[in-house]
């Protein structure tokens, strides 16, 4: 048998590829051109440590069961005004609703919650909470007027970002400052939200009158003809046209936690709707009691002052 041929050193050198001969990685293609991988890695590291804040606010909007149609329409109007909100199914209004809502907010990846709670098919309460650590506020909602029933002429782009204006009363006390910050965070649409449009064509107005927060929504109307273009700073030609909805918020309590916790503020002027209805019933009952008393007084007066017998009473009987 023949001997095996030894592999030459030259062949071994050809067989083993060098590391330096490997093809370099292709650069990353972006909208602005080609970029090396090293540059992109450095930029990502810089962005991760950069102090720039990005607003990722998301609001969960839901309601309790047995809500009436007017209050449901108000909730849907607010959903159409807030492109950064998420809707969910109705929640049972029980003592454990706080834990249920906190869990729902976490599952929906939200940071705030608006919960419309209807009681006795008459009274509407609005819970406004920052989840999961609080604070939270409970309001009584009154003077409700939805977009459908108002039929106003104002109209603005759906999904556009609103301007938020607050009256000077919000800087008066600490609890008003807290409510202003919560309203600002919940109703302000994030800048780069995927459902938001980069326009400011309407205004949310929050004003305090008689210790109540009144909400209005206005369209910013600008002359858009070619001949009447608005110059910069020409605010005298801008007009506000109301769009709706309208409602009034009466703060009841501010809690330290989400849907509960220590009470930070309690409204001393708040009167519950049940007490108001009880007083109205007492007034009506008082009217009936007055009638009964007047009737008994009349009978007692007739008994104490009897009429003299009439001598001509039996004249025509024969």
Give the residue with greater pLDDT, 98 vs 214. Answer: 214
Full-model pTM: 0.74
pLDDT at 302 over 60: yes
Average pLDDT over residues 221-227: 69
Give the pLDDT of residue 125. Answer: 96
pLDDT at 115 over 50: yes
pLDDT tens digits along 120-174: 999 999 999 998 898 999 999 999 999 999 889 889 999 999 999 999 999 999 9
Domain ranges of the chain: 59-224+232-274
Give the pLDDT of residue 69. Answer: 94
Q: Which residue has the tokens 């108000």?
A: 74
Average pLDDT over residues 42-68: 75
Give the pLDDT of residue 51. Answer: 62
Give the residue with greater pLDDT, 231 vs 289. Answer: 289
Q: Which range has the worst mean pLDDT, 44-58, 87-101, 294-308?
A: 44-58
pLDDT at 233 over 70: no
pLDDT at 287 over 90: no
pLDDT tens digits along 4-20: 666 555 555 555 555 55
* CATH no. of 59-224+232-274: 3.40.50.10480
Confidence of residue 265 (pLDDT cuts 50, 70, 90): very high
pLDDT at 81 over 70: yes
Average pLDDT over residues 70-95: 92
Give the pLDDT of residue 199. Answer: 85
pLDDT at 268 over 50: yes
Give the pLDDT of residue 167. Answer: 95
Average pLDDT over residues 71-78: 95
Give the pLDDT of residue 2. Answer: 58
Confidence of residue 49 (pLDDT cuts 50, 70, 90): low
Give the pLDDT of residue 42. Answer: 47
Give the residue with greater pLDDT, 231 vs 314. Answer: 314
Give the pLDDT of residue 22. Answer: 61
- Average pLDDT value for the chain: 84
């Amino acid at each position: 048998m023949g001997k095996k041929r030894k592999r030459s050193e030259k062949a071994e050198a050809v067989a083993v590829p060098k590391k330096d001969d490997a093809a370099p990685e292709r650069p990353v293609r972006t909208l602005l051109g080609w970029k090396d991988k090293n540059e992109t890695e450095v930029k990502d590291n810089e962005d991760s440590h950069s102090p720039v804040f990005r607003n990722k606010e998301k609001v969960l909007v839901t309601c309790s069961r047995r809500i009436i149609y007017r209050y449901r329409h108000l909730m849907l109007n607010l959903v159409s005004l807030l492109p950064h909100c998420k809707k969910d199914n109705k929640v049972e209004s029980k003592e454990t609703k706080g834990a249920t809502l906190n869990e729902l907010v976490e599952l929906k990846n939200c940071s705030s919650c608006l919960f419309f709670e209807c009681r006795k098919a008459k009274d509407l309460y609005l819970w406004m909470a920052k989840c999961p650590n609080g604070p939270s506020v409970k309001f009584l909602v009154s003077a409700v007027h939805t977009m459908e029933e108002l039929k106003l002429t104002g109209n603005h782009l759906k999904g556009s970002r609103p301007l938020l204006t607050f009256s000077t009363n919000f800087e008066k006390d600490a609890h008003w400052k807290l409510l202003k910050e919560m309203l600002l965070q919940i109703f302000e649409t994030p800048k780069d939200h995927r459902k938001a449009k980069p326009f400011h064509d309407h205004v949310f107005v929050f004003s305090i009158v008689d210790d109540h927060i009144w909400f209005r929504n206005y369209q910013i109307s600008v002359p858009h003809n070619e001949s009447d273009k608005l110059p910069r700073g020409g605010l005298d030609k801008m007009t506000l046209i109301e769009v709706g909805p309208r409602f009034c918020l009466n703060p009841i309590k501010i809690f330290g936690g989400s849907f509960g916790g220590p009470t930070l503020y309690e409204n001393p002027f708040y009167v519950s709707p049940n007490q108001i209805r009880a007083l109205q019933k007492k007034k009506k009952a008082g009217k009936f009691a007055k009638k009964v008393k007047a009737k008994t007084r009349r009978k007692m007066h007739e008994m104490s002052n009897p009429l003299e017998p009439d001598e001509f009473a039996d004249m025509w009987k024969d």
